Amino acid sequence: MNNGTDATPARSSRGLNILILSFVLIGSLLLSACDLGGSSPTPSSGAQNPPANTAAPGNSSGNSGSIDFNGGGATAGTGGNSTGGTTGGTSSGSGGNGIGTGATAPPVAISGKMAAMIPINGTDPSQQPIVQMVQRVGPGVVTVVNSLNPSVTGGQAAEARGSGAIIDQQGHIVTNNHVVEGEQQLVVIFADGKKQQAKLIGADPDHDLALLQVSGQMPAVIPIGNSDQLLPGEVVVAIGSALGEFVNTVTVGVVSGLHRNLDEGNGVTIQNLIQTDAAINHGNSGGPLLNLNGELIGINTLGVTSAGQGDIAQGLGFAIPASSVTSVVSAIMKSGGNGGNPGAVASTRPYLGVTIVPVTPQIASYYNLTDPNGQLLQQGALVEQVAAGSPAQQAGLQPGDVIVALDNNQVTADTPLGDILTQYQAGQQVTLTIIRQGRQGTTKLTLGTRPPGQ
Q: What is the pLDDT of residues 156-168, one digit of tens each?
A: 667 889 999 999 9
How confident is the model over 340-399, as pLDDT tens digits? 444 444 555 688 888 888 888 888 998 999 999 999 999 999 998 898 989 999 999 999
**Looking at residues 50-63, what average pLDDT do you find?**
40
> Is a pLDDT exceeding 80 seen at residue 266?
no
> Is a pLDDT exceeding 50 seen at residue 172?
yes
How confident is the model over 422-445, as pLDDT tens digits? 788 888 999 999 999 999 999 999
CB atoms inside a 10 Å sphere around CB 344: 15
Among residues 302, 321, 340, the one where a domain terminates is 321
Shared domain for 231 and 317, answered yes or no, is yes
Domain span at residue 266 reads 227-321
* Residue 149, domain member (yes or no): no
The pLDDT of residue 151: 67
Which residue(s) pair with 186 in the sheet?
A: 146, 198
Shared domain for 359 and 317, answered yes or no, is no
The pLDDT of residue 377: 93
> Is a pLDDT exceeding 70 seen at residue 41?
no
- CA torsion, ordered 59, 65, 67, 70, to nearest 10 deg: 70
The pLDDT of residue 376: 92
Selected catalytic residue, list 204, 206, 208, 401: 208
The verdict on whether 208 is a catalytic residue reads yes
* Residue 309, domain member (yes or no): yes
Among residues 305, 321, 337, the one where a domain terminates is 321
Share of the chain above pLDDT 90, in %: 39
The pLDDT of residue 68: 73
Non-local CB neighbours of 212 within 8 Å, separated by 6+ positions: 144, 164, 172, 173, 174, 175, 180, 186, 188, 198, 199, 200, 201
The pLDDT of residue 127: 80
Among residues 321, 346, 365, the one where a domain terminates is 321
* Residue 435, domain member (yes or no): yes
> Is a pLDDT exceeding 90 seen at residue 236?
yes
How confident is the model over 304-332, as pLDDT tens digits? 766 655 666 677 889 999 999 998 898 88
> Is a pLDDT exceeding 90 seen at residue 256?
yes
Shared domain for 283 and 366, answered yes or no, is no
Shared domain for 300 and 364, answered yes or no, is no
CATH code where residue 280 lies: 2.40.10.10
* Residue 104, domain member (yes or no): no
The mean pLDDT value of the chain amounts to 75
The verdict on whether 68 is a catalytic residue reads no
The pLDDT of residue 142: 96
* Residue 157, domain member (yes or no): no
* Residue 430, domain member (yes or no): yes
The pLDDT of residue 147: 87
The number of distinct structural domains making up the chain is: 2
CATH code where residue 424 lies: 2.30.42.10
> Is a pLDDT exceeding 70 seen at residue 91?
no
Selected catalytic residue, list 163, 172, 178, 419: 178
> Is a pLDDT exceeding 50 seen at residue 2?
no
Shared domain for 425 and 366, answered yes or no, is yes
* Residue 198, domain member (yes or no): no
Instruction: Select the more confidently predicted residue: 203 or 127.
Output: 203
Selected catalytic residue, list 285, 324, 327, 347: 285
**Looking at residues 397-422, what average pLDDT do you find?**
89
The verdict on whether 178 is a catalytic residue reads yes
* Residue 200, domain member (yes or no): no
The pLDDT of residue 303: 75
The pLDDT of residue 333: 87
Candidate from 98-102, 130-134, 185-189, 416-420 with smallest mean pLDDT: 98-102
End-to-end CA distance of the chain: 123
HEC readout, the chain:
CHHHHHHHHHHHHHHHHHHHHHHHHHHHHHHHHHHHHHCCCCCCCCCCCCCCCCCCCCCCCCCCCCCEECCCCCCCCCCCCCCCCCCCCCCCECCECCCCCCCCCCCCCEEEEEECCEEEECCCHHHCHHHHHHHHHHHHEEEEEEEECHHHHCCCCCEEEEEEEECCCCCEEEECHHHHCCEEEEEEECCCCCEEEEEEEEEECCCCEEEEECCCCCCCCCCECCHHHCCCCCEEEEEEEECCCEEEEEEEEEEEEEEEEEEEECCEEEEEEEEECCCCCCCCCCCEEECCCCCEEEEEEEECCECHHHCECCCCEEEEEHHHHHHHHHHHHHHHHHHCCCCCCCCCCCECCEEEEECCHHHHHHHCCECCCCCECCCCEEEEEECCCCHHHHCCCCCCCEEEEECCEECCCCCCHHHHHCCCCCCCEEEEEEEECCEEEEEEEECECCCCCC
For residues 204 and 257, the answer to whether their CB atoms sit within 8 Å is no
The pLDDT of residue 66: 63
How confident is the model over 108-121, as pLDDT tens digits? 433 333 444 555 55
Non-local CB neighbours of 113 within 8 Å, separated by 6+ positions: 120, 123, 128
Counting every residue written for the chain, the total comes to: 454
Shared domain for 380 and 430, answered yes or no, is yes
Shared domain for 316 and 363, answered yes or no, is no
